[in-house]
Structure 1
């Protein structure tokens, strides 16, 4: 049994290697290249190289090893991680006063969208640019080849990644082995670079270079991109395999490679143009370009899957309108595909590649979203430690200060890159934040307006039982968000058709701020009167509601449904903008547009279309 457990752990750790560490594992392709790029003007001296290497080494140790793997991974929401998951956890700890935490959590979610647009572009471009090291004659083909690889990546999303996903772990294992081997090759030529393990080199570099040293942090942080993925993917693999893969394989390979690149730059200053590929002997360049392209595709796949997951969470928590969500695997609940997000991302990535042309230009845009999310994570996780784990404030406050002392300089060093391309992820992040907060506030306002118009349910049920209208055979299921008022679809049916079904079921589907709901807790059935029933169904934010599943669970509690004798009634609101207090006119316009383009409830809740009756209602906002 113990041997089987070890074998299972090894398999999960290998899978985590393929998915979790793709982004941070491909950072050596461009990090040192950007640190010594012409825009900083750093001379290739032993002090500068050791200083930069020391900052990278201790960034990996302090941010990834200590902050994320030792601290943040403790903040699991029933085993799940990620910025919106952490936001939900923090809000639950704080209670009704958690609106500020929700706001910064949504900003973190917005930053993630900005990061996802740039990650595939910079990763694939930096890998394909290795062809230029083989011979400058390949330069005209770099951009078209990168666009071809990226387009192919997004085209295969609708088919799922279950089959090719089995290759991710072994390919990334080979990739990290190659990183380590190249690093050892470089270090052998100049072992003195290992002195960068001393943090004093990094501190000395920052203080001796002033503003340039501070700006260099904007390039150093490229080594940390992907740290958030360690937390976001915790639900897929668990914390232990993620930690094992990092400490025993990923971190040593990354450190060796960065040291090797530093040694190569000191030996040949012209290698700073692309130190990663200059580390390799000439015969290994083409295989290395192919391997690095595969690794960057895997890294891109991981963030694409991450944004699908984040979007579903946002939809379930009520921050985005309903969208088409397709499951691409019968076995893995987490493997989903969202067409709208996929094609929107493809268009954005192609635009970004054409706009910036090369990875160095994109590096100016990269970092602000990553570091912004790091700051937000620090605030949220310390809130959870204080209010959720009941750590003393005397411990949490210094811990938060220590985390922000690292995160804020990294963020501010990237803020100054706004005019060099940093405006792009910032714009995407702010845009996503506006969309999410507008939808949330708009839905709240809509519910207020509907409740103002609603008739109290208790009195209505009593009246219907005492003075029943014409009854017809069958069951009518009315989907409603309110548990107190009469559904508008029920009133319209009674008003126009002047009949009630012999059994009336009021069904409310609620999304909880937890990732999953146990099957025995999913459905509650309550009889309101002789012919009126209420069904409450609960889903986690990582689950997709399914009306047929709800009906099956009702049957297990003795309430059976004959589908051919059941009709589903839904309200379809037509929103009318007014000058009443609520939202500003431009946000009302945006909310109305989002509502019109939302997926129909019939499709989202997977209701048989031939059993649905939609009743229209006009609502003044």
Structure 2
């Protein structure tokens, strides 16, 4: 019992560090942006109204929607937009057109995650470092260079893995939450009447008297729920209970105290509106608070970077991106990976964002559209999961998701006002990535269709070969083929040039399914083709780490297992030739050909031993 409690405590502490780092740093800029927008006249009534809106936004979107409802929609214990997408698409697999639409919507939402992944580290670190301007205006020129240095160091250490420093994330973030709660209390004690703003009637009164202003400022209010999507995305790492416990016992109380403390300060000192978070900090604590805020924002950014690696790997295995180099940074935790291309592409985009927007206030204009669209997509996918997968009554499904859909739509519509001020930036990033993903998916479909049209049927081919069998050599040959039941090009080349066939031949097709993890007992499907030849299908989930030698080691009886020293892997390295009037527009075919050329080899992705791989090339027109 005690070990269970300690495990729950450790997971809850970990969740505070990884899951809530992002939302925990929103206190740095959310209140500043609402009053700094100039749309809200500075009056005590308006301070009460805005605080009430903040509190009920946190309650509605985070507590009710994500913590209570969305966390229930787990895909075999896993969460996140990719897991939700797989769950929703599986629930409507008997309706192909609807399934296709849901896949497109979900994949677009995944693309917007990258836009969010660029804006969030930029705005978080920049807003933390801007605290130096409160200490002395002379630091103003140092803010952008210092931000870029911090971000460069953060991305540079990724290749070393986060296992060593990861254990400090939870305690540091917990210190951050306790510190912001203490700052809030310091000012609430002086103006305790500010706590009345918890009553929803202040929010409703503000909305009733200022409907137009409310609609406009929702684009800034949404900043208080930055990172809410992380609750669901990180469910597989920590589980539902620690995430819920961390939110209700630590995160929400501390955020509420700090926002209400900022409100109390604004009632006493209206001029503090230019940066209420740092203005509420006593002079002696200003420098330590800037340091602590910087550490908290770096940890929040780290969680997002790790999330980008994880999501990219899942999307690759769902077939929407080419294989990229994946390096494992931990010998014990297979989930800890580093993807150089994703890492430095993300860094380049973040540097561009910092240099273009120059301040957290300008970045706040860019933030919101991407995250609100993702929240909207999550709500839509949740409806299809609870209706089609859980088979709940239609009225209950509409009631459960309809309210959140209206809330999400209000925030989304308000954020569209920020489109020209910077909202176009994450949308542009998302659109570019969506184009890449769609081109890769469609290109692979055309490539497989081309391979199928020229392919020979495996059983007929083997029957013909064994009428006058070639020389058999000792060992096992593993031929990888994209299509089950077709003759791999590598086999044709091997017979043509070497004129031999191995003693044992495995024709292997690797399939990635729309579930997070495939049980080991169900990983292999083996069909005996006779003459020591087998058709093997290897099934992986989108969160599995493909390791073909390990999977194939379970084939055969105990005395007939594969000998690694006597096994060769034959792969086809296809060169794609774009053709005019093919299945896609010419520019997309050329893009696909380039992506295919630059994709990392299947050998590395499937963890094949480099000294046992034979690659044979062929040209294919699409």
| Partner residue in 1 for 2:435 | 434
| Partner residue in 1 for 2:29 | 30
Decide whether aligned partners of structure 1 residues 321 and 197 sit closer, same or farther in structure 2, where only a CA change above 3 A counts.
same
68, 78, 81: which is aligned to 1:80? 78
| Partner residue in 2 for 1:60 | 58
**In the TM superposition, what are the counterparts of 1:120-269 in structure 2 within 5 Å?**
120-269=121-270
CA offset digits 1:68-94 (Å, max 9, x no partner): 010000011111000011000111111
Output the CA distance in 2 between the equivalents of 1:329 and 1:40: 49
Contact 2:334–2:545 under 8 Å retained in 1:
no
* Alpha-carbon offset, residue 481 of structure 1: 1.4
| Partner residue in 1 for 2:16 | 17
Decide whether aligned partners of structure 1 residues 422 and 501 sit closer, same or farther in structure 2, where only a CA change above 3 A counts.
same
CA offset digits 1:129-167 (Å, max 9, x no partner): 111111212111111111111111001000011111110
What SS does the aligned partner of 1:553 have?
Answer: coil
What SS does the aligned partner of 1:369 have?
Answer: helix
**In the TM superposition, what are the counterparts of 1:413-432 in structure 2 within 5 Å?**
413-432=414-433
**In the TM superposition, what are the counterparts of 1:313-324 in structure 2 within 5 Å?**
313-324=314-325
Q: Could you state the TM-score of these two structures normalised by the residue count of structure 1? A: 0.97
Output the CA distance in 1 between the equivalents of 2:441 and 2:121: 30
Q: Which residues of structure 2 form unaligned runs of 5+? A: none
What SS does the aligned partner of 1:42 have?
Answer: coil
Output the CA distance in 1 between the equivalents of 2:2 and 2:607: 43
Q: Which moved more, 1:170-179 or 1:197-206?
A: 197-206
| Partner residue in 2 for 1:462 | 463
Output the CA distance in 2 between the equivalents of 1:200 and 1:571: 67
Q: Which moved more, 1:446-455 or 1:181-190?
A: 181-190
What SS does the aligned partner of 2:530 have?
Answer: coil
CA offset digits 1:365-394 (Å, max 9, x no partner): 011111110000000011100001111011
What SS does the aligned partner of 1:489 have?
Answer: helix
Decide whether aligned partners of structure 1 residues 558 and 398 sit closer, same or farther in structure 2, where only a CA change above 3 A counts.
farther
What SS does the aligned partner of 1:416 have?
Answer: helix
What SS does the aligned partner of 2:334 have?
Answer: coil
38, 41, 44: which is aligned to 2:42? 44
Output the CA distance in 1 between the equivalents of 2:146 and 2:159: 22
CA offset digits 1:552-585 (Å, max 9, x no partner): 2225666422333222111111111113441122
Decide whether aligned partners of structure 1 residues 47 and 519 sit closer, same or farther in structure 2, where only a CA change above 3 A counts.
same
Q: Which residues of structure 1 form unaligned runs of 5+? A: none
What SS does the aligned partner of 1:527 have?
Answer: strand
CA offset digits 1:567-614 (Å, max 9, x no partner): 211111111111344112222121111101100112211212222221
Output the CA distance in 2 between the equivalents of 1:313 and 1:368: 24
Contact 2:135–2:286 under 8 Å retained in 1:
yes
| Partner residue in 2 for 1:525 | 526
Alpha-carbon RMSD across the aligned residues, in angstroms, is: 1.4
* Alpha-carbon offset, residue 524 of structure 1: 3.1
* Alpha-carbon offset, residue 266 of structure 1: 1.6
**In the TM superposition, what are the counterparts of 1:497-508 in structure 2 within 5 Å?**
497-508=498-509
Q: Which moved more, 1:514-523 or 1:23-32?
A: 514-523
Contact 2:382–2:401 under 8 Å retained in 1:
no
Decide whether aligned partners of structure 1 residues 111 and 568 sit closer, same or farther in structure 2, where only a CA change above 3 A counts.
same
Output the CA distance in 2 between the equivalents of 1:440 and 1:553: 32
Output the CA distance in 2 between the equivalents of 1:210 and 1:567: 70
Contact 1:40–1:212 under 8 Å retained in 2:
no
